[in-house]
């Protein structure tokens, strides 16, 4: 049984960086990967808040990347091969939440704040600055990852759940700029 979420985090971050590549050199790719990993980590900790949740996902599996591949237009030709086994550890909800967090630093800050008392932190200080306070280099490196129009089909899958979880469901939709319908 998994003691942590590292396979889900690694696979989902890898999926994000392949679906929305940096397009730059090694440094740019590393910056984009760091941001994807921070967003996926926060999303995974929100999605699986207890050791029991982690134990359950280790038994049932997170679902894989097939639907995400289709939505992002990155479908692999034919069935997955041995080199694609990592794709089975991709979590659709975590990927959806991660791109929501990447496109809206304010939402990312609220998510990180909500984890303050999480057992995931176990009292250790963890910094998510590249996620919550991206600088110009971060934004350039992860332009595709942070662009709300490009990843809208993925973000929209589970955005409402994230907003509700973070108590953001009554205001503007994060990353979309749409006001709620008037009554």
Predicted pLDDT of residue 102: 97
For residue 18, the enclosing domain spans 6-165
Q: What percent of the chain has pLDDT over 90?
A: 68
**Does any domain span residue 41?**
yes
Enumerate the H helices of the chain as residue ranges: 6-19, 26-47, 51-60, 66-72, 92-103, 105-114, 129-132, 136-141, 143-146, 152-165
Whether residue 169 has pLDDT greater than 80: no
- Establish if 178 belongs to a structural domain: no
How sure is the predictor about 175, in pLDDT bands with cuts at 50, 70 and 90?
Answer: very low
- CA–CA separation, 52 and 127 (whole Å): 25
Q: Is residue 65 domain-resident?
A: yes
pLDDT in tens, 31-60: 999 999 999 999 999 999 999 999 999 899
Would 172 be classed as within a structural domain?
no
Residue 24, domain member (yes or no): yes
Q: Note the Cα 124 to chain centre separation in Å.
A: 22
Burial class (CB in 10 A: 0-12, 13-18, 19+), 124: exposed
- φ, ψ for residue 63, nearest 5 deg: 120, -30
How far apart (Å, rounded) are the C-alpha atoms in residues 46 and 114? 8
Q: Is residue 177 part of a domain?
A: no
11 lies in some domain: yes
Q: What's the total number of domains in the chain?
A: 1
More confident site: 1 or 173: 173
> pTM of the prediction?
0.87
Instruction: Check the CA dihedral 116-158-149-40 and report its sign.
Output: positive
pLDDT at 76: 59
Task: Report yes or no on 63 lying in a domain.
Answer: yes
pLDDT greater at residue 30 or residue 119: 30
């Amino acid at each position: 049984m998994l003691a942590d979420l590292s396979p889900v985090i690694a696979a989902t971050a890898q999926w994000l960086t392949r679906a929305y590549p940096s397009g730059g050199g090694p440094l740019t790719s590393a910056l984009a990967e760091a941001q994807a990993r921070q967003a996926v980590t926060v999303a995974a900790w929100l999605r699986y808040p207890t050791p029991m949740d982690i134990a359950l996902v280790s038994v049932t599996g997170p679902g894989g990347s097939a639907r995400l591949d289709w939505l992002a237009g990155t479908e692999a030709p034919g069935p997955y091969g041995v080199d694609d086994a990592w794709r089975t550890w991709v979590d659709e909800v975590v990927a959806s939440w991660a791109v929501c967090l990447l496109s809206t630093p304010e939402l990312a800050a609220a998510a990180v704040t909500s984890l303050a008392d999480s057992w995931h932190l176990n009292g250790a200080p963890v910094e998510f600055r590249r996620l919550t306070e991206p600088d110009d280099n971060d934004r350039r490196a992860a332009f595709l990852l942070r662009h709300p129009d490009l990843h809208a089909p993925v973000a929209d899958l589970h955005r409402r759940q994230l907003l509700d979880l973070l108590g953001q469901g009554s205001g503007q939709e994060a990353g979309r700029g749409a006001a709620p319908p008037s009554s």
